Structure 1
Amino acid sequence: MSRRPDILCIGAMLWDVIGRAPRRMAPGADVPGRIRHLPGGVALNVAVALARWGLAPAVLSAVGRDPEGCALVDEARRLGVLTDWLSRDTGLPTDCYMGIEDSQGLIAAIADAHGLEAAGAAILSPLAADLAGWSGPVVLDGNLTEDLLAEIARDPRLSGADLRVVPASPGKAERLEPLIAARRGSFYLNRLEAEILAGRTCPDAATAAEAVVARGAARVLVTDGPHPAAEAIVNGPTLTAAPPSVAVARVTGAGDCFLAAHLAAELARQPREAALRRAVDAAGAHVSGKDVP
């Protein structure tokens, strides 16, 4: 058994298949480019980034016992992620995500998370065993079903945990409603996701973050591509930070790097302003094709 982790990342652990073209693409376009096969899923992406910051993250997820699953677990371990508490007996193939990017960003994506959805609450079983009494940080991703997120919101095994919540995509943002209603967690959103949860359009990240706080969230961080990111909290000032100007080399995973850098900074007891600055810089470095630290 591995050493006790610093952080739990609960959600998707899968293979990313990312195709990227170096120019703008129109619907139906068939263009030359590059296709990469990478470890992915929000929970794993965040865990890998946290490991680069010197932390010991563990992933609670479902991974098949097929060759793809075995290779994924081996690669996650190589990258510094603790995998001892995975659910491996779903009977389904290892999950997969396929995305298409062009020079302007993400064009379209399909997430096949049937293994994670089928496993359901079984991925939480370590909380009643080796990880019982967990009171540290927990990253939750919106690839979990709405029913499971609602269950987590009231799960006594996580009542003392520091929840960090990310929707995974705009189409899954509404799954976070039970956590907002329970006033649990810090939320990491892009502006579109924040607008969905706020129920209205917003001109910038600061307005969007404040709108979600007004809905009941205690703390909300919102990114907005190349525009300033923001953090809003109950009964406190809203902060903003502009990301660095970079050439876009990739976009998938930028939000996960933002969350990981922000959480690592807070665990190092950096103040709000410094943590937000580290987060936008880390996301910018990822978009430019670099990994930090």
Structure 2
Amino acid sequence: MVDRPDILCIGSVLWDMIGRSASTMRLGSDVPGRIIRIPGGVAMNIAMTLVRFGLRPALLTSLGRDRDGDALIAEAEDMGMETVFAYRSDDLPTDSYMAIEGANGLIAAIADAHSLERAGAKILRPLEDGRLGNAAAPWAGPVALDGNLTAELLREIAGSPLFAAADIRLAPASPSKALRLQALMGHPRTTFYVNLEEAGLLCNTVFDSSGAAARALVARGAARALVTDGGRETTEAAGDRVLGRRPPEVLVTRVTGAGDTFMAAHIAAELRGSAPEAALEAALDAAATYVSGDTPQ
């Protein structure tokens, strides 16, 4: 029998191939650097941070029955995650992600998450077959949900009795997929974690501050919104309450996964019972440590 996990991480689990250079880069740059392959994907990045904070997350995702999928399962289990609920496909390969980072930030990235999209609602079976709940007795704990899921599946989740009691935390995955999260706008138990650009896309405008963005998301129907803006102030808004904090100043050595680290650290702090101010500060500290390169990968 599998022990109940602390949180469900639903979405992309894949291999990250990341090239990093200390040089400033532009279109067509050919520079020296390092290339690494590490476990990644939004759901995986969030789960890895949750594990570092002493929590036991379960992964609900799609992985191929291939060597890459087997290796990811082994890595996740070694880190302390629950993988028994992951959907393993006989005909879909394990997904992957490739990014190039320079001294001036993320240069370009490609996410090949087509297997997750094609698997669709199959990844949610443990929530309806009794292993993690069912329609009559739905999962009542926290859920980290990522925007790599299709808009259609996110719409199903928004109205599904399987998520009626869940504490849903949303990550957009990337600005190009942020609009998929509109399906959960208005859901009473959902928290949006977005950056300034993603908030603008969801509100069909351009914001000059996280405060304006967070307030606009709440006005648009978000139960709660946390908006980051790089090294500038991050803002949390929920109802009439607005809370802003500036992140610590650090030397930025990496950016891929920073938003996922912020979200996971905030969830972990709240599950420990931290007050809103303390939870926000803990999340900003964790993200700053991550981008500085002090957190191991």
TM class by shorter-chain length? over 0.9
Q: How does 1:29-48 map to 2 (within 5 A)?
A: 29-48=29-48
2:131 is aligned to: 130
1:112 is aligned to: 112
Q: How does 1:123-202 map to 2 (within 5 A)?
A: 123-128=123-128, 129-132=130-133, 133-202=138-207
| Paired residues of 2:23 and 2:31 also in contact (CA < 8 A) | no
| Paired residues of 1:6 and 1:56 also in contact (CA < 8 A) | yes
Instruction: Deviation per CA, 1:82-102: give whole Å up to 9, x if none.
Output: 101000025111000001110
Distance in 2, matches of 1:283 and 1:174, equals 24
Query: Which SS does the other structure have where 1:177 is aligned?
Result: helix
Query: Which SS does the other structure have where 1:39 is aligned?
Result: strand
Distance in 1, matches of 2:188 and 2:27, equals 41
Identity over aligned residues, as a percent?
55
| Paired residues of 2:22 and 2:102 also in contact (CA < 8 A) | yes
| Paired residues of 1:153 and 1:184 also in contact (CA < 8 A) | no
Structure 2 gap segments, 5+ residues each: none
Q: How many residues align?
A: 291
Distance in 2, matches of 1:184 and 1:22, equals 42
- Scaled by the length of structure 1, the TM-score of the pair is 0.97
| Paired residues of 2:186 and 2:223 also in contact (CA < 8 A) | no
Match of 2:252 among 248, 255, 264: 248
Query: Which SS does the other structure have where 1:264 is aligned?
Result: helix
RMSD (Å), alpha carbons = 1.1
Q: Quote how far apart the aligned CAs of 1:181 are.
A: 3.8
Q: 1:289 to 1:2 in 2, by over 3 A?
A: farther
Match of 1:270 among 261, 266, 274: 274
| Paired residues of 1:62 and 1:90 also in contact (CA < 8 A) | no
* Matched residue type, 2:213: A
Q: Quote how far apart the aligned CAs of 1:183 are.
A: 4.2
2:292 is aligned to: 288
| Paired residues of 2:151 and 2:180 also in contact (CA < 8 A) | yes
Q: Quote how far apart the aligned CAs of 1:2 are.
A: 3.5
* Matched residue type, 1:8: L
* Matched residue type, 1:34: R
Distance in 2, matches of 1:218 and 1:87, equals 30
Query: Which SS does the other structure have where 1:81 is aligned?
Result: coil
Q: Quote how far apart the aligned CAs of 1:278 are.
A: 0.4
Instruction: Deviation per CA, 1:161-188: give whole Å up to 9, x if none.
Output: 0000010000001001110043440000
| Paired residues of 1:90 and 1:118 also in contact (CA < 8 A) | no
* Matched residue type, 2:223: A
Instruction: Deviation per CA, 1:68-123: give whole Å up to 9, x if none.
Output: 11001100111111101000025111000001110121111000011101110000
- The answer to whether 1:85 aligns with 2:81 is no
Structure 1 gap segments, 5+ residues each: none
1:57 is aligned to: 57
